[in-house]
Each structure stands twice: as structure tokens, then as C-alpha cells.
A and B are shown apart, each in its own frame.
Chain A
Amino acid sequence: MAARWTRERWRKLRVKTGFSIYYVIFLMFIYGPMFAMFVLSFQGRRGGTSFPMRGVSLYWWNKLLEPSTVGDMQGAMGRSIILALMVMVITAFFATMLAMAFRKKFWFSNVLFYTILTGLMVPGVLLSLGMAILMRQLGIPAAWYTSGLAVHVIWALPFSYLVMMAVFNRFDSRLEEAARDMGADEWTVFKEITLPLITPGVVAAGLFGFTLSYDEFARTTLLSGSYNTLPLDINASMTQRIRPTLFALGTASTLFSLLMISAFLGIYTILYRRSR
């Protein structure tokens, strides 16, 4: 029998529709500006940084590919990707090891927990400043692949760590018990049982690390040394006259971020399905 349309149901439907409309407006609010930037990056040659469009062209995208337009764009992007890959590997390792350790209680587990989360709470400026002054005092030159890497890992680790904690929360340790009872040593248990089960989690933890490092600006400001990462380069190009090239760069960088996210989410889903 079809449900009757009582007043209550009408009211619920109205509320739901209202919320749905609000949600759509909200999406327009958070995506709208990015979309406008995306459209404007195809601005015609004579167009400026605002609407209307004066023709459609790839002029500004081509400018992006030419060397020596706004600093060393391709180099900066390459450095950012390499740095993000290093951060990804290190955080995935650290996060997995930490989460495995936290399956048992140990005497400084509370202190360690809060220290890891401090990395999330401390503003980038403060950490950047502390590291920069310290390194200056010690006479160590800053570089994106040393000091930059150091603070990027501090920033990405809490996220990856929380992901791995969630993974191990749902982990059935009886499987490991069974393997041990059958005489497997610790390495075999890890390699044959634990690792295959947690791989999707490790990949997700790496995903966090990669994207967080790739987009990080504040923590790198004082610590990148003589070569810029991509966010620093974007910031530098903003102090000059703003041209649609910047929009093209922003669009390219955003698309790359989105590509990475969907790639990792895809891998995660596949592995998750397989592990079940």
C-alpha cells in the first residue's frame, strides 16, 4: 500500500528540500571561485583578470609552458612533486610503525600521542620560524629537501597517523594470533597477514601526506633555501602584476591535486574490495 501523504510527511519533505537547496548553494560557494578562475584561464590574449572574456584562447596556458615567464615554474612543480613523494613515503612508514606501536600501551604513549597531534596544531609560521632561527644559529643552510622535508613530515604525520589508527581499530588481531600459533615468526606474520590487510590504509595515509605536502605553503616559507617549491612560486608571482597566467597555473595545480586524490581514492577502493 502506498504511504499516505500526511502533513508530517509534507513537512519532512519541505525541510529536506530546503536543506538540499542550501547544500547546492554551499557547493557553489566553495567551488564557484575556483570555477571562475578555471574559466578565466582560457581568457583571450587581450583579456584581463576579470570577466568578460575577450575571446577564448590557450594563450595564457602557453605562456605557462614557456620558460622564464614567472620564475622557474616547471622546476618548482618538479621540486614540489619530489618533496611530496618523499613526504608520502616517510609519513606512510612512520604512521604505520606508530599505529602498530600504539596497539599496546607503553609508558610514554600519552606524551607521544599529544606530541604527534601538536604537529597538526602548531601554526606553520611558528614552526617555520623556530626551525629557521635554529638552523641559522647552527650554521646549517636551509633547503627544500632537508629542512623543508623535516617540517612537511611533521605536518603530514598526524593525519596519516590518525588514518592508520583507524585502520588498526578495525583490525582483527586474531588472524595474527592464528599465524603465530601455527609457528610463524614476527616478520612472516607481518609480511603475510598484517601488511596485506592494512595496505589500503597505508596508501590512504600516503595520500594524505602527498597532498598535504604538495600544497603546503606556510611551513616552507622560511625553510626552502634558494629554490622555491610550487606554492612559494605562486606566492612570489602574486607580488608582481596579476595576469591570467596565474589562473592557468592555479587551475593546473588544482587539477593535479584532484588527479592525485582520485587516483589514490581509486587505488584505495580497489585494494579495500580485494582485502575483504
Chain B
Amino acid sequence: MGPVRQCRIGPNFLKAAARRRHLMSKVNEYHHAGLIGGQPEADDKTVVAKIRHTEEGFSTAWLVTPASIWLILFLVIPLVSIIVFSFWENTPQGLKPAFSLEFYGEYFYTEGFFDVEAKRFLLPSVFIRTLGSTIYFTLTTMVLCLIVGYPIAFFLAMQVQAFKFQLALFLLCMVPFWTSYLIRAVAWLPMLGRRGLINQALLGMGIVDKPVSFLFYSEFGYTMALVQIYVVLCIGPIFFSLAKIPKDILEAATDMGATPFQIFREIIGPMSMPGVAIGMIFIFVVIMGEFATAVVVYGGKTSTAGTVILNYYGIANYPFAAVNALMLMLAMVIGIVVILRIVDIRKEL
């Protein structure tokens, strides 16, 4: 095998080029036929079985009703009520139905969002800035999770051959997802603190001569904890979309003399995009609503959109909490739409 493989490009260059052109068109064909993530079409037998099946089985109405009622009562109505309550008035006797934009005004105008006399924009309100910093942390964490998590998913899907081994290593990564994130946040205390392990290691190696304080209760520690806690969320989807890439395409590309980098740029990268997008959406929605880790690891020195909501609930200013919640929801919807605009994930579902 060895010698044949070694000389395959040299003398037969023209032949190889022709093959390459042919195979690249093949790759494109796969690409457009939606084989990325698309499922193999069912054979005729299955289709027949499915059609026959529509007349049989339990009645759909009975199967669907209990869960639907639960979803409407405890998911749809609470979310809609946030919108409604954000317009209500807060009186000492409790909430009063109204159509008031008072709290929206407070959200945008506090601390002179727009200075009428100077006719110019000043600093954004403290609430907008909090939302902004939440978005900033979320984006930073998303990028870091992608950088940290993608190679892991790549390793599992491409480098590990045996399926059993693949599954075991994958589960090993996923186990922390099933434990409490609160406790995982707490677990950073002995690592990052002033007398924590990292500081001790730095001191011991003589890199610094007194403990560094930027580790804990800081942006650095917060971001690191967020990455550690949530990186598993993007490994799963990326792993699944990488595992779906037909191996013969990669082999064909190698045979045509594509370098590993070319293979990644032309085939693996584009074909794993749906998984990346789903992973990013997961991390985005989870960290946007995050508040517990901020309190534990950041020591309450900062506020996220989530802590602001809880604070205003705590002082019984419900409509304002609702306005904050609504703005958070809006930011999230915009974020998801942007991600979906960049990557088409429908083929993956």
C-alpha cells in the first residue's frame, strides 16, 4: 500500500486533477441535496407503514391534551403575563391594570439617556448598560466555549474510531451537565481565591511574588467559571453534526491531495456549522438569563440582567421587573434570529 499511495499525485497529475474536479462537484451535490444533517430517506416499506398507521393508534387528542394544558397554564400564560404586567401601574394597594409606559421610561431615561437641553445622547441608562454587559459576557463566553469545545467535539467525532469508545468519552464530558451548576460555581472557590490553588501554583513556581487578586471576584474568574460550566452545551451539538459527515467524502478529499487545512475549510467547517449554531444558541440563552454564577463567583460586584430582575422583584416593583424581563427576552430573540440568519439549522432538525 505504502509506495502506491506515495506516488499517487506525482505521475498521474492530470488524472488526479480531473478526479478532483469530479469529486468536488460531488461534494457540492451533497451539500445542496441537504445531506448535511439530512436523514436518509425512508424506503418504501416504512412510508407505507406510516400511511397505514395514521388511522390507528390512540387518539391524538387524548395524548396531547394533558401536556398542552400544562404548557399553556405554566409556560404560555406566565410569559404573556410578563408583557401585560409591564404596562400596569404599581400602587401601594398592589398592581393596577393600566396602560402605562412609566416603567419603560424609567428603563430608558434613568441617568439621562437623552439630554434634552444639550440635544445629544449621554451615557445609556444603568439598565441598558447592565444588559449590554450581560451581552458582552455572553458573547465572550460563547467565543471561548467554541474555541475550547470545538477541538473536543472534533477529537471525539474524527479521531476516536471505535463507537463504544467515542460514546464513553462523550459521556465523560457530559456528566457535569447533570450535576448542579450552583455547586460547580462554588467549586471554583478553592481554585481561584486569594489563597487558592492557582495562586499557590504561581507563587510556588516563582512566577509572581505575591498572590494575584484578579482571579476571583473578577471578570476573569467569572468568564472562566462560565466556560467551565457551560462548555458541555456546545460540545454535544457540534459532536453530532461532525459525526454525521460521511467519512468517504473526507477520504476522497485526502486522495485528491487536499491538505488537512483545506479539508477543514471546505468540508468539515461548513458541514459542522448547524451544530455550532445550535450549541451557540444553547449557550447564549442560558448565559443571558444567568444570575447565580454571577453572585457566587463575581461576589455580587456586578449585576447581570437576571440579578436586576430579581432585585426589583425583591423590592416589590413588579412592573419594572417585568420591563427588565421583557427587554432581556427581546435581546435574546434578536440574538437567536441573528444566529439563525447566519446559519441555516433547519436541515439539522
> Chain A interface (Cβ within 8 Å of chain B)?
3-4, 6, 8, 15-16, 19-20, 22-23, 26-27, 29-34, 36-37, 40, 49-51, 93-94, 97-98, 100-101, 103-106, 112, 115-116, 118-119, 121-127, 129-134, 136-137, 150-151, 153-154, 157, 173-174, 176-177, 180, 186, 190, 211, 214-215, 217-218, 221-222, 231, 234-235, 238, 242, 246-247, 250, 253-254, 257-258, 261
Contacts and interface: CB of A to CB of B under 8 A. Distances in A.
Interface string B66-82: 11101101111111011
A126 B152 contact: no
Contact of B325 (A125, A173, A231): A125
Classify the secondary structure of A's interface with B: helix
B60 A104 contact: yes
Interface in B16-47: 45
Top 6 nearest A-B pairs by Cβ distance? A123-B289, A130-B78, A101-B63, A33-B187, A215-B180, A250-B183
B40 to A, nearest CB: 12
13 contacts: A36-B187, A37-B189, A104-B54, A115-B71, A124-B289, A126-B82, A131-B74, A176-B57, A218-B291, A218-B292, A250-B180, A253-B179, A258-B178
B53 A134 contact: no
A15 to B, nearest CB: 7
A121 B190 contact: no
A257 B95 contact: no
Given A19-B154, A247-B186, 16 more contacts: A30-B176, A33-B187, A101-B58, A119-B75, A121-B285, A122-B75, A123-B290, A126-B329, A134-B77, A215-B178, A215-B182, A234-B182, A235-B182, A235-B295, A247-B187, A258-B179
B60 A31 contact: no
* Size bracket of the B interface: 35 or more
Contacts of A215: 178-182
A129 B189 contact: no
A39 to B, nearest CB: 8
A30 B159 CA distance: 21
Contacts of A6: 2, 5-6
A104 B56 CA distance: 10
A130 B81 contact: yes
A153 B74 CA distance: 9
Contacts of B173: 26-27, 30
A22 B152 contact: yes
B169 interface: yes
A180 B313 contact: no
B302 to A, nearest CB: 16
B78 A261 contact: no
A86 to B, nearest CB: 13
A3 B70 CA distance: 61
B180 A217 contact: yes
A94 B176 contact: no
A173 B189 CA distance: 53
Contacts of A242: 186, 189
Given A30-B231, A123-B286, A177 B49 contact: yes
A208 to B, nearest CB: 9
B291 A125 contact: yes
A261 B70 contact: no
A173 B173 CA distance: 34
Nearest to A214: B180
